[in-house]
């Protein structure tokens, strides 16, 4: 790809500072938007466009269409369109462009697929398997991994939320965990007794890994720093392999399972929305399709006139 000229690099840097400092977007979002904008501006430079105010809507649509032809997923396409719209809205407000070329840019629709999820039996087997593994692990990792899996399934936390937990975030008197979710929004989520017991067991071993860099982090890596999301994902994927025929959906699969099993057990949709930290009820409603699908399967198998 074309090397970015100085003006393009500078404007991307300024925009990313705006995202981080003024809009309080996560480091992950800033990195993703930076990558998308670098790729877009490289394509513009390759087309002979050497000024940001020379970029037109047709140029942006052409670039996105090329991304689609190259096999980009709908979710990636939607994020790129969002990055472009946010960028040019900022550029217009900062008088870098007089007309926003991305104002008419639409995001591709993402097909709403039913998430594959673990059954109740799958999750029970998963917890037994990870407890068995912990019983023969002489290091603190075994206890930590049990606590991670129990807490992910019990409370439906996102990986980033779990990694951000501190020792004081668990309220054992009320069986709640305080979570900082997307957009720095705080919520209190119920925690089951098995998860609290697992966290207590981990905390008795946590001191073996504590270093000056540990701070108040609840979960630590082997070197004592706050645990990295990649480690959590690896822990979950390794545990999933112990369950034959279960979908290896990773940490987010435990979040899906928690929501699905709550609704199957009679929980109302609004409560599940609050526990998951969804800004919109529409995001939570996909789980009603999962439970409805299972009800349909039971009906088809059991009803004499199905």
Does 77 lie in the same domain as 30?
A: yes
Does 176 lie in the same domain as 76?
A: no
The answer to whether 158 is a known catalytic residue is: yes
Structural domains of the chain, count = 2
The answer to whether 303 is a known catalytic residue is: no
Does 130 lie in the same domain as 81?
A: no
Average pLDDT (8-18) is 94
Judge whether 109 lies within some domain: no
Does 18 lie in the same domain as 66?
A: yes
Q: Which residues contact 224 (CB under 8 A, 6 or more apart)?
A: 209, 210, 211, 212, 213, 214
Per the structure, the complete domain to which residue 241 belongs is given by 120-254
Average pLDDT (89-113) is 84
From the candidates 68, 92, 278, 294, give the one annotated as an active-site residue. 278
Does 129 lie in the same domain as 85?
A: no
From the candidates 182, 187, 205, 294, give the one annotated as an active-site residue. 182
| CA 180/CA 200 separation, integer angstroms | 21
From the candidates 80, 144, 206, 255, give the one annotated as an active-site residue. 255
Average pLDDT (42-64) is 92
* Strand order, beta sheet including 176-180: 170-171, 176-180, 186-190
From the candidates 158, 206, 256, 261, give the one annotated as an active-site residue. 158
Does 24 lie in the same domain as 75?
A: yes
Mean pLDDT of the chain: 85
From the candidates 47, 61, 92, 252, give the one annotated as an active-site residue. 252
Judge whether 199 lies within some domain: yes
Does 54 lie in the same domain as 133?
A: no
Residue 294 pLDDT more than 60? no
* CATH at residue 221: 1.10.443.10
* CATH at residue 68: 1.10.150.130
Strands 176-180, 186-190: pairing is antiparallel
Judge whether 279 lies within some domain: no
The answer to whether 261 is a known catalytic residue is: no
The answer to whether 287 is a known catalytic residue is: yes
């Amino acid at each position: 790809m074309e090397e970015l000229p100085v003006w393009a690099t500078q404007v991307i840097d300024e925009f990313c500072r705006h995202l981080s400092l003024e809009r309080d977007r996560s480091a992950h979002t800033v990195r993703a938007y930076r990558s998308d904008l670098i790729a877009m501006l490289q394509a513009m430079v390759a087309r002979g466009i050497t000024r940001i105010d020379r970029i037109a809507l047709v140029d942006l649509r052409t670039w996105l269409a090329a991304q689609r032809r190259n096999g980009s997923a709908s979710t990636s396409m939607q994020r790129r369109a969002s990055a472009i719209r946010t960028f040019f809205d900022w550029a217009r407000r900062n008088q870098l462009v007089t007309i926003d070329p991305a104002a008419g840019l639409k995001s591709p629709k993402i097909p709403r697929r039913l998430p594959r999820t673990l059954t109740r039996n799958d999750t029970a087997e998963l917890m037994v398997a990870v407890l068995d593994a912990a019983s023969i692990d002489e290091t603190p990792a075994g206890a930590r991994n049990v606590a991670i899996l129990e807490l992910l399934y019990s409370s439906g936390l996102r990986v980033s939320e779990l990694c951000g937990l501190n020792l004081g975030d668990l309220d054992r008197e009320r069986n709640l965990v305080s979570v900082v979710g997307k957009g720095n929004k705080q919520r209190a989520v119920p925690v089951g007794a098995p998860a609290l017991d697992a966290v207590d067991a981990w905390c008795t071993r946590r001191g073996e890994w504590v270093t000056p860099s540990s701070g108040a982090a609840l979960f630590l890596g082997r070197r004592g720093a706050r645990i990295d999301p990649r480690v959590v994902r690896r822990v979950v994927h390794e545990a999933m392999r112990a369950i034959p025929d279960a979908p290896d959906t990773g940490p987010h699969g435990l979040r899906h399972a928690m929501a699905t099993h709550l609704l199957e057990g009679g929980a109302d949709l609004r409560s599940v929305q609050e526990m998951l930290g969804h800004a919109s009820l529409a995001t939570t409603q996909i789980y009603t399709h999962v439970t409805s699908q299972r009800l349909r399967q039971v009906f088809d198998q059991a009803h004499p006139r199905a």
